[in-house]
Structure 1
Amino acid sequence: MPPRRQQSDDAPIDTPTQSPAGGSASVRTRRIREFAREVLGFAEFRPGQEAAMQSVVSGRDTLAVLPSGAGKTAIYQVAGQLLDGPVVVVSPLIALQRDQVGRLTEIEDRAGRAAQLNSTMSAGEQREVLESLAHGSLRFVFLAPEQLSKPEVVDALQEAHPALFVVDEAHCVSAWGHDFRPDYLRLGGVIEQLGHPTVLALTATAAPPVRAEIVERLEMVAPEIVVAGFDRPEIRLEVDHYADAHAKHEGVLDRVLAELGDGRGPGIVYSATRKGTEVLAEELVDRGLRARPYHAGLSTAEREDTQHAWMADDLDVVVATTAFGMGIDKPGTRFVIHAEPADSLDSYYQEIGRAGRDGEPALAVLVYRQEDLGLRRFFAAGTPAEEELQQVAGLVAAASAAGIEEGVDVKDLREETGRAATPLARDLNLLEQVAAVVLDEDGAAHPADNAPPPGEAAAAARELAEHHERVDQSRVEMMRGYAETSGCRRQFLLGYFGEQLEGPCGNCDNCSSGLAQEQHAVDQASPFAVETPVEHSEWGPGVVMRVEDDRIVVLFDEVGYKTLGLAAVTANDLLRARV
């Protein structure tokens, strides 16, 4: 679904139109701009910011898709001042919450008091936050989605009558998204329990199917969808191709040294595995660089120390898995190098978006060997057997029937089923998505209200898992397409997100070599236009996302992204236009 066109920031604002919050449109606009200027120090808004603020303050559910570094948090910081009631912000990481609370505390006298609510706090500290919320002395409360599994938290929020419910990193609610989190699935129900305050969903990466699922999962009502341009023209896009693993490994090291040797630093190197981060970091240290690894297997203290060193300019490079980066805002990052392909272009776009946030030239390099996609295909593969799902659903249902009110602990399920923690967690997440089980904050499983019988639940969960696998595999193929295209890489990347760049960008390796211009000339003659709705006899409805010289890329509702040969499509009449 294409986003609705937004009123531009410089459109006329002097016609007073009454709205449910903030007074007339002209008054809202003046107050928004005054607060942003006087309190946040804004000289001007970035694309999409003011349109989203206007939408929220008028009381309309809003999905804001803005690039990394585009100031998404300012939307609720400003809009929250013009709404009558507290602002609830759901954020996936405690570090992100702490950062936002810290920023708001600096302007507390004008913005209002902010506090966190998370599992690291004592029961007394959590109770104090909820009491402050009830007394009206809190303007912003930040919490993780897991907190919303606690009835006492939801009850306290309900009594506080929040005016705005913010979902940060909203792509986490979507199974299409690159960072899906089952805990986000309960948010739609919580929003309704709270009387459906205005909802603001924020994300930096949301391809069309992700946007649609965010709206559906959060039960947003007639939302305004604000999509700022995805293009980050200051980031140069390149792919270095290698035929064998050793040459590619040396190529990563050499590229890092070359960038830092030319004074273009600091930078981030992403590796697909924990071992990869440690090996690369060690070898970069051996070559005289200040480098450290960062991954989820390190202790909390080690990760925090590395993060602090990075932010303090004590490191030349961090070599990390995707555990490093969400919420990291270091404007002077000059390059991002991927030692392996990301799992999707969604992930890739967000990761390279951590470079050049100061608006100065930056570089994104994918060091590519086709065989490395095998690792991503492996991660994307794997559907649990229906019998396994039925066993888990049956054990949860049996415990409930036996009167075990505290639910079934995951450790007990592991002993009963003989399954490892990771596949068991996947099974429970699937069963939760098909409304068969509910997981509480302690990880115990309970039957959902009106849960289907275990056999039906298992069949539905298996079908959902197969759909996820098809989608994940299609996204790996789109990553391959980006790496191997002879056209403009920026056109390819933006096309994935449903945004069309009219001509080659001039700031990628294929543009510099002249390949992109040749490819563009061929693309113009294609019988299929980008964004054409089509129907496939087997895969159903879809939308043309990209056109190349001998193939097209179509995003199908059910099977994800597919690359089709134009000759086969035309010869066999495989696609027809939809009205």
Structure 2
Amino acid sequence: MHSGRLVISVAGETEPVPPASPPDSPGDNPAGNSASVRTRRIREFARDVLGYSEFRPGQEKAMQAVVGGRDTLAVLPSGAGKTAVYQVAGQLLDGPVVVVSPLIALQRDQVERLAEIEDRAGRAAQLNSTMSAGDQREALDSLRDGTVRFLFLAPEQLAKPEVVDAVAEAKPALFVVDEAHCVSAWGHDFRPDYLRLGGVVEQLGHPTVLALTATAAPPVRAEIVERLEMREPEIVVAGFDRPEIRLEVDHHADARGKELGVLERVLAEVSAGRGPGIVYSATRRGTEDIATQLADRGLRVRPYHAGLGRSDREDAQRAWMDDELDVVVATTAFGMGIDKPGTRFVVHAEPADSIDSYYQEIGRAGRDGEPALAVLVYRQEDLGIRRFFAAGTPGEEELQQVAGLVQAAAAAGIDEGVDVKDLREETGRAATPLARDLNLLEQVEAVVLDEEGAAHPAKDGPGPAEAAAAARELAEHHEKVDQSRVEMMRGYAETTECRRQFLLGYFGEQLDEPCGNCDTCSAGTAQHVPGPDDHDTPFPVEMPVEHSEWGAGVVMRVEDDRVTVLFDDVGYKTLGVAAVLEHDLLRARG
């Protein structure tokens, strides 16, 4: 764990943009040490250029920290204006802003939005693999000469020394990592290419770092701080609650009943005028089957999954955004970058792989602040597919073989590295497990993956045997954590307590009273949950504890007879309070 001090601020309600205070003196530097000047300039730009009449929770606090030169992790809900943080801060810092964004579509969207206010905000540009070499050089040259103020690029670009050198020469004042949960192995969208970003920050002279995400449970926040090598960061958590989204779970005993339940739910919402909506399915085949059945019942619907051709996916997304569809039926491939404020419902045909993913996916509903619905159509047996995906640890022998092949290629003078195709030819194994092995070996700093996905031995990295042992240990840890998150998804589906209290408790946020906007509240089974100041429970929320077998953890949620603890080494565990007390399984940790 990184040793830097964590200052966690939890923002409250949406606040009006106050009138700007008068300047301290005509010559004040807006990014200088005067907090009042920073505040005035932040509010002026937000009001006059972005048109903000009010700040959303966490926005101004994050802006203040960044403009004050503080590394900042901002956990702001979907639709809460995360991009405005760096748009505003970028005006008040002496130097360009580099924004790492995982998808080209997201980059393009942000460049287009900034183009609308270019005369006040400064020019924005992209740098990605779809551009010609000449256009890429022009983007970097414009960053260096100050023509471009915001440069958006994928993390893969920062694997190129010439790109890092060019960015360093521009002396960026702010390094933004969007979708920062991708840097965390705990995160639901983990991307190994994010792992290099901490080193890049240091190569750039450690400009102020701003990490942005909508979904980050406590272990994800901790790993973001560590991986990005953030220095004494301020962590602004704006609150995970989306009270406008009603939470429901429909239970079914058999597969056919569940299948009909999904169709009936969607048809009911659309026929009542409560559309459009998204249906998530765990498999590509599931998306196709559900889309076909909904189309047969008269709905305008398209499937969306990674097995479709690029043009088909793009056309489905365009039709969805242009209000030509009642429903899109998708796998999680329909994810980051999907922002349609009027989405009225999200139906899950199977449980998500974790509460993290579920929260992210249902958060695509109701972004306009109007009432929306999230329904999980649940059959307990469906958790089996999630357990299957979460299981599977590679053997040390195969990891050692992959590490050895990478080192052997380098020793033979193969400068272009070893990619998955090469490894398939050498080992006869499938591409997916080989890619997993390379990702694990990169995480233990045995190999480095370049922009094309080819592997090179890491400088001063461990040998194949040592690397394999470390990668195997890491994989076992990931499996335990992933399995624990599947179990938390089961807990959400099967609880009779307030579902919103359960959901928020997973992220370490306490909701003292039942929400009144979920099916368990409507059924009258939800009850008060003991909080940090509630002395009726021996293990209140947020208490640090120690387990004799599982080690250190933190209490995340308390029910009448159960306690859920997030352990550092094994993830989430739910324990019976009576058994815990009888066998002295948990002790308070000072």
TM-score with structure 1 setting the length: 0.97
Are the counterparts in 2 of residues 91 and 167 from structure 1 also a CA contact under 8 Å? Answer: yes
Are the counterparts in 1 of residues 529 and 558 from structure 2 also a CA contact under 8 Å? Answer: no
Q: Which residue of 2 aligns with 1:191?
A: 201
Q: Does 1:314 find its partner at 2:324?
A: yes
Q: Does 1:378 find its partner at 2:388?
A: yes
Mapping of 1:197-346 within 5 angstroms?
Answer: 197-346=207-356
Measured in 2, the distance between the counterparts of 1:19 and 1:481 equals 53
Measured in 1, the distance between the counterparts of 2:179 and 2:24 equals 34
Q: Does 1:392 find its partner at 2:396?
A: no
Are the counterparts in 2 of residues 542 and 555 from structure 1 also a CA contact under 8 Å? Answer: yes
Q: Deviations over 1:1-57 (max 9, x none)?
A: 985236887899889799993451111111111111111111110000000000000
Q: Deviations over 1:360-388 (max 9, x none)?
A: 11000000000000000000000000000
CA gap of 1:19–1:545, structure 2 versus 1, over 3 A, is farther
Q: Which residue of 1 aligns with 2:73?
A: 63
Q: How many residues align?
A: 578
Q: Which residue of 1 aligns with 2:541?
A: 530
Q: Any idea what SS the aligned residue of 1:114 has?
A: strand
Q: Any idea what SS the aligned residue of 1:378 has?
A: helix
Measured in 2, the distance between the counterparts of 1:423 and 1:410 equals 10
Moved over 6 A (4+): 6-20, 518-521
Could you tell me which of 96, 103, 114 is aligned with 1:86?
Answer: 96
Q: Which residue of 2 aligns with 1:567?
A: 578
Q: Any idea what SS the aligned residue of 1:4 has?
A: strand
TM-superposed CA distance for 1:263, in Å, is 1.0
TM-superposed CA distance for 1:527, in Å, is 2.3
TM-superposed CA distance for 1:395, in Å, is 1.0
Measured in 2, the distance between the counterparts of 1:229 and 1:291 equals 34
Report the identity percentage.
81
Are the counterparts in 2 of residues 3 and 227 from structure 1 also a CA contact under 8 Å? Answer: no
Q: Deviations over 1:206-250 (max 9, x none)?
A: 000000000000000000100001111000000000000100000
CA gap of 1:484–1:446, structure 2 versus 1, over 3 A, is same
Mapping of 1:114-153 within 5 angstroms?
Answer: 114-153=124-163
Measured in 2, the distance between the counterparts of 1:366 and 1:68 equals 20
Measured in 2, the distance between the counterparts of 1:498 and 1:14 equals 39
Q: Does 1:27 find its partner at 2:37?
A: yes
Measured in 2, the distance between the counterparts of 1:66 and 1:402 equals 49
Q: Does 1:5 find its partner at 2:15?
A: no
Q: Any idea what SS the aligned residue of 2:147 has?
A: coil
Measured in 1, the distance between the counterparts of 2:118 and 2:512 equals 45
CA gap of 1:399–1:449, structure 2 versus 1, over 3 A, is same
Are the counterparts in 2 of residues 20 and 59 from structure 1 also a CA contact under 8 Å? Answer: no
Q: Which residue of 1 aligns with 2:552?
A: 541
- Tell me which moved more, 548-557 or 1-10: 1-10
Measured in 2, the distance between the counterparts of 1:122 and 1:549 equals 61
Q: Which residue of 2 aligns with 1:550?
A: 561
Q: Which residue of 2 aligns with 1:36?
A: 46
Measured in 1, the distance between the counterparts of 2:554 and 2:287 equals 38
Q: Which residue of 1 aligns with 2:436?
A: 426
Q: Any idea what SS the aligned residue of 1:81 has?
A: coil
Are the counterparts in 2 of residues 68 and 204 from structure 1 also a CA contact under 8 Å? Answer: yes
Q: Which residue of 2 aligns with 1:452?
A: 462
Q: Report the residue type matching 2:514 in the other structure.
A: P
TM-superposed CA distance for 1:357, in Å, is 0.6
Q: Report the residue type matching 1:508 in the other structure.
A: C
Q: Any idea what SS the aligned residue of 2:240 has?
A: coil
Q: Which residue of 2 aligns with 1:177?
A: 187
Q: Deviations over 1:477-525 (max 9, x none)?
A: 000000000100000000000100011000000000100038889x984
Q: Report the residue type matching 2:483 in the other structure.
A: Q
Are the counterparts in 2 of residues 172 and 184 from structure 1 also a CA contact under 8 Å? Answer: yes
Are the counterparts in 1 of residues 530 and 540 from structure 2 also a CA contact under 8 Å? Answer: no
CA gap of 1:465–1:7, structure 2 versus 1, over 3 A, is closer
CA gap of 1:46–1:518, structure 2 versus 1, over 3 A, is closer
Q: Report the residue type matching 2:204 in the other structure.
A: L
Q: Report the residue type matching 1:564 in the other structure.
A: L
Q: Deviations over 1:282-336 (max 9, x none)?
A: 1111101000001111111111111111111111010011111312111111000
Are the counterparts in 2 of residues 16 and 25 from structure 1 also a CA contact under 8 Å? Answer: no
Measured in 1, the distance between the counterparts of 2:132 and 2:80 equals 35
Measured in 2, the distance between the counterparts of 1:7 and 1:174 equals 23
When the two chains are superposed, the root-mean-square deviation of aligned CA atoms in Å is 2.0
Contiguous gaps of at least 5 residues in structure 2? none
Could you tell me which of 444, 449, 462 is aligned with 2:472?
Answer: 462
Are the counterparts in 1 of residues 93 and 173 from structure 2 also a CA contact under 8 Å? Answer: yes
Measured in 2, the distance between the counterparts of 1:409 and 1:29 equals 50
Could you tell me which of 155, 167, 173 is aligned with 1:163?
Answer: 173
CA gap of 1:524–1:254, structure 2 versus 1, over 3 A, is farther
TM-superposed CA distance for 1:443, in Å, is 1.8
Q: Any idea what SS the aligned residue of 1:238 has?
A: strand
Q: Deviations over 1:110-151 (max 9, x none)?
A: 111101111111111111111111211000010000001111
